[in-house]
Chains A and B, each alone.
Chain A
């Protein structure tokens, strides 16, 4: 897999960051606005798809390692299941952080309001962990697909962009 042309690479380098910022916004505001961990994670994984399609798999594998995405998956799953298990004194998945005053623990204000980010207890925490998990999983799917691609070119040329 060879890199695309200069135009495609520049555009992908620029707009991939907008995608990443929007995806992180969707993950973090998961309990306030439409979307959540899965949707935001899919949008953030599009960041990796942009860079992979533009730059090719070989250069991407020199930038990031697959163990990084495995680590993200492991952290996401561990945080999710421990947030479920920590409320075990009442029930499984008990929301022990809500209205506790600490992390994500402030009380929701009454009446119509734009939404307070520091509310909802473990729901926001689980959104973050699901987002981390989905980013790791989908990025690893893309990386493994690239590593399964045959390296040699059919015509023996050095680069095959659409403008060459």
Chain B
């Protein structure tokens, strides 16, 4: 049972990491990165390191997402204006 749980968490980490670089919308990429951090923190918790899990959830999923969103809002919507690329 615990192996299935570990495997599903690891698959979710890989899938969200792939989605982070696959999305064209940058806000979706940031949200996928937050999901990746959240599942890494869950994996830390199942590996019996709750100390690291709290740090990862606070910094990875909370603060770095906020900083990325600040940077994105500062950029405006200029990333959609490039027509020639892809």
Chain A contact-residue range equals: 20 to 34
Is A111 an interface residue, CB under 8 A from the partner? no
Interface residues of B (CB under 8 A from A): 50-51, 53-55, 58-59, 62-63, 66-67, 69-71, 73-74, 76-78
Interface on chain A toward B: helix, strand, loop, or mixed SS? helix
Q: Once A and B bind, how many residue pairs between them come within 8 Å at the CB atom?
A: 64
In the complex, the answer to whether A36 meets B51 with C-beta atoms within 8 Å is yes
The 8 A CB mask of A130-163 against B (1 = contact, 0 = none) is 0000000010011001101110011100000000
The smallest beta-carbon distance between A146 and chain B, in angstroms, is: 6
Asked if A42 is at the interface (CB within 8 A of a chain B CB), the reply is yes
Chain B residue contacts of A123, Cβ below 8 A: none
Are B54's CB and A52's CB within 8 A? no
A149 touches B70 (CB 8 A): yes
Taking a contact as CB atoms under 8 Å apart, the answer to whether A142 and B67 are in contact is yes
B59 touching A52, Cβ below 8 Å: no
Within 8 Å of chain B (Cβ to Cβ): is A34? yes
Given A149-B74, A154-B78: A39 touches B66 (CB 8 Å cut-off): no
Q: Are B67 and A154 in contact (CB under 8 A)?
A: no
| Chain A, range 1-34, C-beta contacts under 8 Å to B | 1, 23, 26, 34
Identify which of residues 97-126 in chain A touch chain B, using a CB-to-CB cut-off of 8 Å.
none
> Which of chain B's residues has its CB closest to A146's CB?
B70
With A34-B54, A36-B51 as known contacts, state yes or no: A53 contacts B66, CB within 8 Å. Answer: yes
Instruction: Indicate if A43 sits at the interface (CB-CB under 8 A).
Output: yes
